[in-house]
Amino acid sequence: MWKMNRCAIAFFGLATCLLFGTSGNAQTRKYSNEFLNIGVGARGLGMSGANVASVNDVTAGYWNPANLNFIESDLEVGLMHAEYFAGIANYDYGAIAKPIDSTSTIALSVIRFGVDDIPNTTQLIDAEGNLNYDRITSFSAVDYAFLISYAKDLKTPGLSVGGNVKVVHRMIGDFAKSWGFGIDLAATYKTDHWKFSLVGRDITSTYNAWSYTLDEETKNVFEATDNDIPENGLEITLPKFILGAAYRTDINKFSVLGEINAIVTTDGQRNVLVSADPISVEPVLGLEFGYVNRIFLRAGIGNMQRITTFRGTEDFSVQPNMGIGLRLGNFFLDYAITDIGNTSEALYSNIFSLRFQVFNKNKS
């Protein structure tokens, strides 16, 4: 089974080269740079990503940069490692955030999503037509993202704005690589119990310039198997908007927080709850229960999709997530268990993330 999965991914990796092959024209695609939509931090993932309004830690650099000013320390560090599809794919995240003054904060985030040690079987058959397993090599399909985030409180009480400048680097072994650039903008308005947020991702569209390097032997294999030779091209990620509203209340030693998000995509019709062309809308719900601001229980529902079955009927699927959190002084340990939303079989991933605050402070 493991070898079959590896071979399937090897095929997928090479097929991706073909998928993005163009004649030098820009192409807009659904699910472009999709690794940036997985999410970071077990708190947010435990709430199915419904935390763009309530996020108040270093992960705000990813979810909502306008909320970085809610960090309550002079320095905060966040780390996360996750494995998907029985450990085949690895997702790593690290970030650091530091207030500049009482009204502004800066952060740096790094994300890596990759499948390593994929067998390359394009040279399996030698020039004489014999199978030669010594000719099998391996490669990695890896996506990187680097985010520089900034948040600023405005003169209007409760209103803050923020943004990301992000660089995306994707590569498939020595066959293909791309560099991309994009901008996110966000705003949050806070009252005593409510937070309202609007996040615009890839608001200028994010452009990935792909280039391909295939040796003559690989090109011959592609031609012999009736595959096209990929050419350099431009992949465009269209804007996405997330509206969030969160409400929190404290009852003695307990706290209750609920949040609802609406994810608005502009890249064409998707099989979500509100499906249209070119705009679709997907709702996401999250809950968090806290005790003495030390122990947290979380749950969420997201990834709501309409699915057409083999019988031609329409089915509906959701992705339920759960999580817990523990705070020990300035140290935070969060855990989430997520289901990728398969209707026929649950495929769960265990997510752990750490956060550490340095030099607690009180903002003026």
Domain segments of the chain: what residues? Answer: 2-360
127-165 as b/e, with b when 16 or more CB fall inside 10 Å? eeeeeeeeeeeebebbbbbebebbbbbeeeeeebbbbbe
* Residue keyed to tokens 């020039």: 127
Which residues fall within 8 angstroms of residue 126, CB to CB, at 6 or more apart?
132, 135
Task: Please spell the DSSP secondary structure of 161-186, one letter per residue.
Answer: EEEEEEEEEEEETTTEEEEEEEEEEE
Alpha-carbon distance 198 to 54, whole Å?
A: 12
What residue ranges of the chain have pLDDT lower than 50?
1-24, 343-344, 363-364
Whole-number pLDDT of residue 330: 92
Q: What is the pLDDT of residues 117-176, one digit of tens each?
A: 888 877 777 667 778 777 788 888 999 999 999 999 999 999 999 999 999 999 988 888
Which residues fall within 8 angstroms of residue 345, CB to CB, at 6 or more apart?
none
Q: Are 165 and 183 in contact (CB under 8 A)?
A: yes
Whole-number pLDDT of residue 340: 60
Which residues fall within 8 angstroms of residue 134, CB to CB, at 6 or more apart?
none
Give the count of beta carbons closer than 10 Å to the beta carbon of residue 31. Answer: 11
2-360 in CATH: which number?
2.40.160.60
Whole-number pLDDT of residue 219: 72
Q: Torsion over CA of 62, 353, 38 and 242, rounded to 10 degrees?
A: -40
- Token pair belonging to 175: 């066959």
Whole-number pLDDT of residue 5: 41
pTM: 0.84
Which residues fall within 8 angstroms of residue 34, CB to CB, at 6 or more apart?
none
Nearest to 182 by CA among 162, 215, 207, 160: 207
Sign of the Cα pseudo-torsion (152, 156, 159, 163, in order):
negative
